[in-house]
Amino acid sequence: MKKVIIVTLVALLAALSFTAVASAATYMSVATGGTSGTYYAVGGALAAAVTKDGKIQCTAETGNASVANSNLIATKGIEIAFVQNDITYWAVNGELMFQGKPLKNIRAVASLYPEHVQVVIAKDSGIKSIADLKGKRVGVGAPGSGVEGDVQAIFGVAGLTYKDLKKADFLDFGATASRFKDNQIDAGFVVAGFPTAAVMDLTTTKDVGLLNFDKEFLDKLHKKYPFFVASKIPGKTYKGIDKDTVTPAVMAILITHADVPEQQIYDFVSSMFNNLEDIAAVHAKGKEITLKGALDGLTAPLHPGAERFYKEKGLIK
């Protein structure tokens, strides 16, 4: 009898131990962006949404933009990261800032929402086109950032280089806004989902506008870099900018690395799409994240865990 009780207790303890291990949440971190950008706001909401289902304990961390986030993923320094799809393309193929050093272990997780090139201009600067940036003081993004990568691509199509500027200032979103307030720059590039906190703050205190791109230039840009698509920022998105702004856009996407377990990414994607309404409640860009658009504009191979999820949902045959 005593032997039966002991065996039963051992079996029960083993079962409880297995249940505890099975139910333990997996910890994952998401690299976002600077605190004045859209990645940071959406990333915090996304991490909370993923955590809600209980399978993944997800934490959002500040990041240093798309290029740094791509390198962080490639070196397995983090599990998930926000990046622009153009930067992912250059990373996977070893082009531009990744010249000769392709990051072949990057895998796509999901496409999120469009990110617009927002060229903020001082209204008294006389800047009416990209060509007018010549001889001006221009914020070109943080060093090695996705913004700077976009500036290089746009300048290449426009026939401009940094040497053509009076000054190329390497600034993040917050610093760009600060330089405008101090009258230290004439134009500044921001690439993010609108409304962008730094631009919203700036337009409440400074008389600035957004640069319109003409169709001919947008066609040239798209022909050379297909991930740039013509889009617009609606009028009244920002104070004092009442008309629509025609500008290029790329896609914000989530990436991971090839060695993150399939089940882990499957659970992450499943939990995210189960709780999209929570993300939408925090930031306007959250309303643009949809299962239908999850594969739009992906520029890296899909992770097997994400692929399994999308097959189950009928997005992949």
Predicted local distance difference test score (pLDDT) of residue 292: 93
Per-domain boundaries in the chain: 25-113+252-312, 116-250
> Across the 317 residues of the chain, what is the mean pLDDT of every consecutive 10-residue run?
42 41 74 88 96 96 90 97 94 92 98 95 95 97 86 96 96 92 96 90 94 96 89 95 96 97 98 97 93 93 98 95
Predicted local distance difference test score (pLDDT) of residue 24: 60
- Is the distance from CB of 86 to CB of 248 less than 8 angstroms? no
> What kind of fold does domain 116-250 have according to CATH?
D-Maltodextrin-Binding Protein; domain 2 (3.40.190)
Class of domain 25-113+252-312: alpha beta
Residue type, 189: F
Predicted local distance difference test score (pLDDT) of residue 112: 96
Chain center to CA of 126? 31
Residue type, 295: L
Enumerate residues 6+ apart whose C-beta is below 8 A from 32. Answer: 39, 40, 42, 43, 44, 60, 61, 62, 63, 82
Integer Cα distance of 184 and 181 in angstroms: 8
Chain center to CA of 249? 12
Integer Cα distance of 149 and 211 in angstroms: 18
Predicted local distance difference test score (pLDDT) of residue 143: 83
